[in-house]
Structure 1
Amino acid sequence: MCDTVTSHTCLLCMGSNLDALLHLKNAEDALQHLFPDIEWGGIVETVPEKMENPQPFLNRAARFRTSLSLTEVRSILKQIEQTNGRTPESKKEGRIPLDIDLLSYDQQLLKPEDWQKEYVHLAFRHANFT
C-alpha cells in the first residue's frame, strides 16, 4: 500500500516597520528551514496604511508547499512573529517587528480584505513565482 502526502500551496505576505531587515531575515531563515521549497518575492518599501506611526514598512511575498494543516501553518507563523517581538502592545503602538499574513491555503482566500491592500499588490508584483 502506498502512502500519499497531500501538498498544500500557501501564499503569504510579511512586513516590518521596526528593525525591518533584521526581522525579515529572521523570518526568512525560519521559513526556509521549515519549508525548503519556499519562493520569495523581492523586498518592497511601503507606506503604512491606517497607522499613526509613519515609519515605512518593508514587505515581501512568498509561496510554499506543505503537508501541514491550515491550523498548523497559522500556529507556526504566529510563533515566528512572537519570537521576533510581536506583541499586542507593539501592534497598538504601530511598532510592528514582524507581521506574517497567510493569505491563501490552496485555493482558499483567507484574508480577502488584505488582497485589496496596496502593500500586498506591490509585494506580489515583485514576486515571480514559477
Structure 2
Amino acid sequence: MPETNISHTCLLCMGSNLDARLHLKNAEESLQRLFPGIEWGEIVETQPERMSNPQPFLNRAARIHTSLAMTEVRNLLKEIEQTNGRTPQSKEEGRIPLDIDLLTYDQQVLKPLDLKKEYVRRAFLHASFTYPSRV
C-alpha cells in the first residue's frame, strides 16, 4: 500500500546467489510497490564471503523513505525473502535465493558489521546515494 507520510530514510542491501536475476527482479517489484520512491544502485557481482557455496552473488543497494516503524520494515523485508524461497535450510546450504538487509534506519546503523563487508561496499559504490560514514 503506498504511503503518504514520509519521515524515515532507510538503506538496504540485497543479494542472491540462486537464480539471482529472477529473485532480484521479484524483490525490486515488491519493494517498488511498497516504497514507490525507492532509489536503486546498480547490480554488482560479488564473490561469496565465508560460504561453502562458491556461486557468485548479485547485490544491489537501495534507499527508501517510509513512515513505517523499523520493525514493520524488517517484517516486510523478511516476508519478501520468504516469498522468494529463503529458508533457514537454504542459508545453511549457502544457497541464498534472496537476502535483504536493513542496514540503517534514519541515522541508526543496524548492521555495523555488514557495512564493513566488501559486497556491501561494492553495492554502494554503484549507487547515487551516500554510504553511511559512521562504520
TM-score by length of 2: 0.92
User: Which amino acid in the other structure matches residue 124 of structure 1?
Assistant: F
TM-score by length of 1: 0.95
Asked whether 1:34 is paired with 2:31, we answer no
User: Which amino acid in the other structure matches residue 114 of structure 1?
Assistant: D
- Measure, in 1, the Cα distance between the counterparts of 2:99 and 2:63: 16
> Number of residue pairs matched?
127
- Deviation of the 1:6 alpha carbon: 5.5
Report the equivalent of 1:19.
Answer: 19
- Measure, in 2, the Cα distance between the counterparts of 1:13 and 1:64: 11
User: Aligned in 2, Cα 1:6/1:30: closer, same or farther, shift over 3 Å?
Assistant: closer
Q: Give secondary structure in 1 for the equivalent of 2:65.
A: strand
Unaligned runs of 5+ in 1: none
Report the equivalent of 2:75.
Answer: 75
Offset from partner CA, 1:69-95 (integer Å, 9 cap, x none): 000000000000000000000000000
Report the equivalent of 1:57.
Answer: 57
Unaligned runs of 5+ in 2: 131-135
- Deviation of the 1:5 alpha carbon: 4.0
- Measure, in 2, the Cα distance between the counterparts of 1:80 and 1:109: 22
- Measure, in 2, the Cα distance between the counterparts of 1:129 and 1:23: 23
- Measure, in 2, the Cα distance between the counterparts of 1:67 and 1:34: 11
Offset from partner CA, 1:31-80 (integer Å, 9 cap, x none): 00000000000000000000010000000000010000000000000000
- Measure, in 2, the Cα distance between the counterparts of 1:113 and 1:66: 24
User: Which amino acid in the other structure matches residue 33 of structure 2?
Assistant: H
Larger Rg: 1
**CA contact under 8 A between 2:38 and 2:62: conserved in structure 1?**
yes
Report the equivalent of 1:103.
Answer: 103
Q: Give secondary structure in 2 for the equivalent of 1:113.
A: helix
Deviates more, 1:4-13 or 1:38-47: 4-13
- Measure, in 1, the Cα distance between the counterparts of 2:12 and 2:23: 16
User: Which amino acid in the other structure matches residue 110 of structure 1?
Assistant: L
Report the equivalent of 1:7.
Answer: 7
